[in-house]
């Protein structure tokens, strides 16, 4: 049931994302009105935040960059993670506050987001023994995370693109439960959250 619920949530979010991209593709409207809706608006790289030692992805912007959706592939080498890890992450963020600093820079002092993380490894259980009731564990090959952060966008006149730098704090669902529900007294916020740093180029 957990797996079914999670799949339904992801499917619903995916449909909403596609609708958003089709209804309002900001970058395409801004920079290239003739660009088809399915061509990505940005390329992003990120380290940490649970999505990989090195993660790269493509993303879409909608509603005048108020909303952003990026699909990442993440990799952790064995030397760093104890084993080689491959993940796919789907990250959605909204930027409710944007402050202009001159005409080439814009700061989003607080953006909010949610990430769905999928382990690309069969040995991470999606389902357990057939004898195990499906309600017994949530699927561990899938995790959700919430994040908030700050982003700085700088326009490059030379390259006709926008460079974005961001830092965010991310909290995994398991750690969120531990911190908010299970033991708020012992655990500290920084025990349960991680920093992520990233760069994106909007074209």
Partner 1 sequence: MNKKNLNSHILLTNADRPLNRKQFLRNLGYSALASMPALLLPGCYFDLEYSPYMTNVDYENLNAGNLEKIAALEAGREYGNTYRFGLISDTHHFYTETKKVIGIFNSRSDLDFVVIIGDTTNQGLLREFNWGYDVIKKLKYPYINIIGNHDCLDYGIEIFEKMYGPLNFSFSFLGTEFICFHNNNWESSEPDYGWLAQKASSSTAAHRVLFAHIDNSGCAFNRFSQSQVDTFNNIISEYFDCAIHGHAHENSKEDMVNGVPRYQIGSPGYGHYMVVTFNNGIFEVERCTF
Site for partner 1 in 123-142 (CB under 8 A): 123-125, 128-129, 131-133, 136-137, 140
For residues 31 and 43, which CB has a smaller minimum distance to partner 1 in the complex? 31
Token code pair at residue 36: 């088809």
Which residue in 5, 15, 38, 109 binds partner 1 (CB under 8 A)?
109
Q: How far is the CB of 172 from partner 1 (least distance, A)?
A: 6
State the Cα–Cα distance between residues 197 and 45, nearest whole angstrom: 9
Compute the distance between CA of residue 176 and CA of residue 200 in angstroms, rounded to an integer: 27
Among 35, 21, 54, 58, which residue's Cα sits nearest to residue 201?
Answer: 58
Reference 86, options 110, 122, 137; nearest CA is 122
Nearer Cβ to partner 1, position 92 or 108? 108
How open is the CA angle 83-88-89, to the nearest 5 degrees? 120
Q: Give the nearest distance from C-beta 183 to partner 1 in angstroms.
A: 5
CB of 42 to partner 1, least distance (A): 13
Dist. CA 101–CA 41, nearest whole Å: 23
The b-or-e profile of 126-143 (16+ CB within 10 A means b, else e) is: eeeeeeeeeeeebbebbb
3-state secondary structure of 103: coil
Q: How far is CA 179 from CA 48, 141, 156, 176, in A?
A: 20, 21, 42, 5
Nearest distance in Å: CB 170, partner 1: 8
Closer residue to partner 1 in complex, CB, 12/120: 120
Residue 29 touches partner 1, criterion: CB under 8 A: yes
Distance in Å, CB of 15 to partner 1, minimum = 26
* 1 to 20: interface string for partner 1, x by CB under 8 A: --------------------
Show the binding pattern over residues 145-174: x = contacts partner 1 (CB under 8 A), - = does not. -----x-xxxx-x----x--xxx-x--x-x
List 71, 178, 201, 203, residue binding partner 1 (CB under 8 A): 178
11, 19, 22, 105: which one binds partner 1 (CB under 8 A): 105
Site for partner 1 in 36-65 (CB under 8 A): 47-53, 64-65
């Amino acid at each position: 049931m957990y797996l079914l619920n999670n799949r339904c949530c992801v499917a619903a979010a995916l449909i909403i994302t596609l609708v958003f991209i089709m209804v309002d593709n900001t970058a395409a409207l801004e920079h290239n009105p003739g660009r088809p809706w399915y061509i990505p608006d940005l390329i992003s790289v990120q380290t940490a935040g649970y999505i990989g030692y090195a993660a790269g992805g493509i993303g879409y912007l909608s509603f005048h960059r108020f909303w952003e959706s990026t699909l990442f592939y993440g990799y952790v080498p064995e030397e760093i993670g104890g084993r080689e890890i491959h993940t796919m992450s789907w990250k959605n963020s909204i930027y409710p506050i944007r402050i202009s600093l001159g005409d080439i820079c814009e700061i989003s002092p607080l953006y909010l987001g949610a990430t769905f993380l999928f382990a690309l490894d069969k040995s991470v259980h999606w389902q357990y023994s057939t004898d195990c009731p499906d309600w017994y564990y949530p699927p561990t090959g899938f995790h959700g995370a919430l994040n908030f952060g700050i982003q700085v966008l700088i326009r490059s006149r030379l390259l006709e693109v926008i460079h974005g730098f961001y830092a965010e704090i991310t909290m995994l669902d398991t750690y969120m439960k531990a911190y908010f529900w299970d033991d708020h007294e012992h655990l500290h916020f920084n025990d349960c959250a991680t920093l992520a740093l990233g760069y994106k180029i909007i074209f």
